[in-house]
């Protein structure tokens, strides 16, 4: 049972991953995937942190959601670590994919991301799908019928309200129970885009409300709670809106089980008592750290591998 949380390499994603690597809390069956989207210093720093702390990490070598792959000369290159056995080279299946790239070298692992059914059909006919160590595919019935080997299903559990709604319309909801499907199908593991969602936007978008997202376990399912600012009339005053949202988190957290009270969650709640606004980037980083700390503890307890 392996969990592959999928991250686009934005600044706060990489900061969260680097912090988690330095905490050295990830079990061997929690392996983050980074699809680089920007040529920034945090990318090689994050890769180095995972390698130095002897923790596995997937790097997508041919990212497809930004112009990062088109930049010939990288200012912040992660490739000096590509021969380290902790680094798993990931590939998005496409016209330039070769069987050599998918075949693991001695002591190394590879991962293939196949999102399109037609490309999967062609790769299956060529006998390529059995080459990579891990095969990441969408959770579609026709793909499950096509592919005979164990796979990793990539889900997008994040919910984004449309223009007529806000997160205040659904402050608490179901997030995932993917590990139960893996146990039933005997696949390699499960993957998701965590709380950030699969949609990638180069510049983001403004929001009328400040919302803090925290995942937590309730019985055998992972749920998500959203702490939303009361002021949602315009795009102004993010600091004041943050204090409205974090006050709700600080009131909610002490009543939760110990597993939910992660160091990252406590750090977020502490901003209420300190009356300190760290910036929304830090808030996003801590929300991601919390999710990884929560899932790491869950996997160690329920699916130990070490």
Instruction: Say which DSSP state 30 is in.
Output: B
24-45 pLDDT per residue, tens: 999 999 999 999 999 999 999 9
pTM, full prediction: 0.95
How far is Cα 212 from Cα 229, in angstroms, rounded to an integer?
Answer: 9
Q: Which residue has the higher pLDDT, 160 or 214?
A: 214
Question: Would you say residue 164 has pLDDT above 90?
Answer: no
181-214 pLDDT per residue, tens: 898 888 999 999 999 998 877 766 678 899 999 9
In angstroms, the Cα distances linking 47 to 29, 34, 56, 63, 192 are 17, 9, 10, 16, 20
Mean pLDDT of the chain: 93
95-149 pLDDT per residue, tens: 889 999 999 999 999 999 999 999 999 999 999 999 999 999 999 999 989 998 9
């Amino acid at each position: 049972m392996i969990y592959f949380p999928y991250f686009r390499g934005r600044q706060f994603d990489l900061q969260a991953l680097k912090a988690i690597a330095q905490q050295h809390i990830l079990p061997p069956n929690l392996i983050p995937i980074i699809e680089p989207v920007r040529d920034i210093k945090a990318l090689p720093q994050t890769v180095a942190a995972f390698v130095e702390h002897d923790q596995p990490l997937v790097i997508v070598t041919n990212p497809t959601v930004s112009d990062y792959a088109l930049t010939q000369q990288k200012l912040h290159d992660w490739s000096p670590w590509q021969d380290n056995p902790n680094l798993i080279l990931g590939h998005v299946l496409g016209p330039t994919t070769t069987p050599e790239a998918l075949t693991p070298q001695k002591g190394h692992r590879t991962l293939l991301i196949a999102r399109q059914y037609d490309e999967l059909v062609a790769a299956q006919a060529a006998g390529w799908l059995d080459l990579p160590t891990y095969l990441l595919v969408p959770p579609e019935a026709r793909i499950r019928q096509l592919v005979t080997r164990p796979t990793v299903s990539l889900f997008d559990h994040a919910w984004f309200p449309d223009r007529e709604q806000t997160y205040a319309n659904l402050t608490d909801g179901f997030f995932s129970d993917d590990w139960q499907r893996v146990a039933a199908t005997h696949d390699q593991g499960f993957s998701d885009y965590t709380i950030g969602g699969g949609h990638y936007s180069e510049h983001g978008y403004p929001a009328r409300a400040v919302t803090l997202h925290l995942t937590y376990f309730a019985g055998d399912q992972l749920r998500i709670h959203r702490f939303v600012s009361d002021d949602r009339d315009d795009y102004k005053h993010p600091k004041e809106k943050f204090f409205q949202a974090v006050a709700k988190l600080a009131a909610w957290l002490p009543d939760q089980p110990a597993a939910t009270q992660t160091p990252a969650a406590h750090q977020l709640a502490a901003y209420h008592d300190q009356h300190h606004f760290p910036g929304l980037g830090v808030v996003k980083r801590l929300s991601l750290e919390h999710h990884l700390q929560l899932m790491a503890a869950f996997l160690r307890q329920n699916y130990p591998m070490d």
